[in-house]
Structure formats: structure tokens, C-alpha cells
Amino acid sequence: MSIIFNKTLKTVIYFRHYSVLCKRLDNSPLLSCFAQSFIPVNRSLFWEKERKGGYRSQENVSYIEHMKNGYKELKVELKLFAKEMKEFLEADPLLIARPGETDLLWCFNEPTVLDNFVTTCDSDHNEGFSTCHFDMSPAGRANFHGYLDTRVPKDGRIKKAGYCAIRSKRVRKSFKRGSTYNWSLYNTLVLKVRGDGRSYLLNISCEGYYDITWNDIYHYVLYTRGGPYWQIAKIPFSKFVLGSKGRLQDRQSRMRFDKVTHFGVSCGDKINGPFNLEIEYVGDDVSTDYPKTVVFGNS
């Protein structure tokens, strides 16, 4: 890069900046030789601007609406703060997990438990035609059902389509303070489900502070058997594999059990048609038969 500046003639000189990562050539004027400012190139290969990866589902509201909504939620936040203080004064944490006793995280016996989860599919972002719902089944349990469609929209942008998923909301403390689940005492995930013969993907998110860990998700394939019978699946945490943005990582690492942020189930087996998965409960268990170290790759 060469710069020539003539102060007498006040000539505006341009400099050339080329980024190998973005493969982009920028031409920007230099207004002064004493205050040369290089325009930074957007290297999106490494840096994540937002946690949603560009999928903005929140509505833009004014500051007045924010103030009104905040005033409405003040009563709820105060109740949540009082609950936290009560738990702190009781000081009765769970120190020992007994083998064979499943500690339930979510028991889907009431419709209010479903409010802790959100659903998403490709049609929500105009990237496909799949639909999904998460409601109560006639048996009184949670029912994740919908229609999986692998048709690709003819917009020249989307190459693959066909996914539906549910995910738990971020656990938080009072006044919108973020928190995490602590599964340090356990080594096994337990689910009681009744499927339709399809294979589903179990997802455990462990979002960290830095943007490079925002998409760290541990996956495990859950195979269901069709029919009227329920099945209890016990999956060791060591069988989950680490992935980021849908790609499995070459170097596997141990799950951070005290930094679990979300749990979810997704359907994307590339088979067009309806799907149905009933869930009675999701819990944790400890077993002496399974280690906590990862099985695949390096720990």
C-alpha cells in the first residue's frame, strides 16, 4: 500500500485495502496525512455480531413502550426476587444425587409447563414450508408434532430445507439476569417419550461469554419406536457430540455441566410427512456405569 499526499494542493489521495478473508477491495479517501483512518473490514468469518446469527424475531418498539412493559413486569420481577431470597435464606441446596432416582427438570403434566419452551421451523423465516406445534396431547402430555417438508424455496438463496425444533427458554433470575442450569451432580439424561418411529435430535446448549461459544451445542440422536407404548431413554452425557452451527467439531470437549443454557429437540430426518413425539418428562440421573468424559474424540 502506497500513500502520496500533497498538502499544498490539498489533493485527496485514495488507499487500497484488500482483505484475504472477505476477498473485498475497498477504496477510501484519506482526508489528512496526520489523521489517517483505516476503515476496518467486516471479518464475519470469526466474529459473531449477535446470538441469533441474523435471525431477528424481536419487534422494534419505542422507548415509551419499553417503559410501559417494564412497569407491567415490575410486580412479576419483585415476586421472583422474593422467591430467590427465600431460597437463599433456606440454604438447602442439593448436594448428593442418588443413583437410580431421576430428578425431573420438566414434567409435562400441566399446560403451563409448555410456556417454558418455544417452537421454530424453517417456514418462520421464509426458508421452507415445514410447520410444527407444541401443545398438550389427548393423553395429557406434551406433544411435539407437525409436518416436515424438504421442499426448497425457489429464491436462489436457500439450498436445504426441512427442520422443526423446540427449545427451552433461557433460565433467568429476577430483573432479567441470566442464569444457567447446574447438572454437575449428574451424568445421564432421562426422557420418557412415545414416538412415531422417526429419529429426533436432542440438543443441549452451553453458551459461553464469548461469541465463539454462542453456538456450542451437544447433540445426540434419539431413535423412537412407533406404536402405543412409551419408552424411557437414558443417554449418558458422554455420548453427546459437540457441534457448532450444525457441523460436528473435529476436537471434542467435555460438556460444561454447570453452564447449560438450553435443552431442545429437533426433527430433520429429511423424510417428508407428519411427525409426532409425545414427552412425559425430562430429567437427570446419576449412574456409576457411565463416565463423564466424552467418548468420541479427545477430552
208 belongs to a structural domain: yes
128 belongs to a structural domain: yes
Q: Which three cell numbers stand for residue 42?
A: 467486516
Report pTM: 0.75
Whether residue 193 contacts residue 278, with contact meaning beta carbons closer than 8 Å, is answered with yes
118 belongs to a structural domain: yes
112 belongs to a structural domain: yes
Residue 147 sits in the same domain as residue 20: no
Domain span holding position 168:
89-285
Residue 32 sits in the same domain as residue 166: no
pLDDT at 236 (0 to 100): 93
pLDDT per residue as tens, the chain (299 positions): 444 444 444 444 443 433 334 444 444 444 444 444 444 444 445 666 777 666 666 677 788 887 888 888 888 888 888 888 887 787 666 667 778 888 999 999 999 999 999 999 999 988 999 999 999 999 999 999 999 999 999 988 888 999 999 999 988 888 888 888 989 889 899 999 999 999 999 999 988 777 778 888 999 999 998 878 999 999 999 999 999 888 888 888 888 888 899 999 999 999 999 999 999 999 999 887 766 666 665 54
56 belongs to a structural domain: no
Distance (Å) of CA 104 to CA 163, 189, 195, 281: 27, 10, 20, 7
The CATH number of whichever domain residue 175 belongs to comes to: 2.60.120.430
Q: Which three cell numbers stand for residue 28?
A: 477510501
Residue 13 sits in the same domain as residue 126: no
- Structural domains counted in the chain: 2
The counts of H helices and E strands in the chain are: 1, 15
Residue 36 sits in the same domain as residue 165: no
pLDDT at 1 (0 to 100): 46
190 belongs to a structural domain: yes
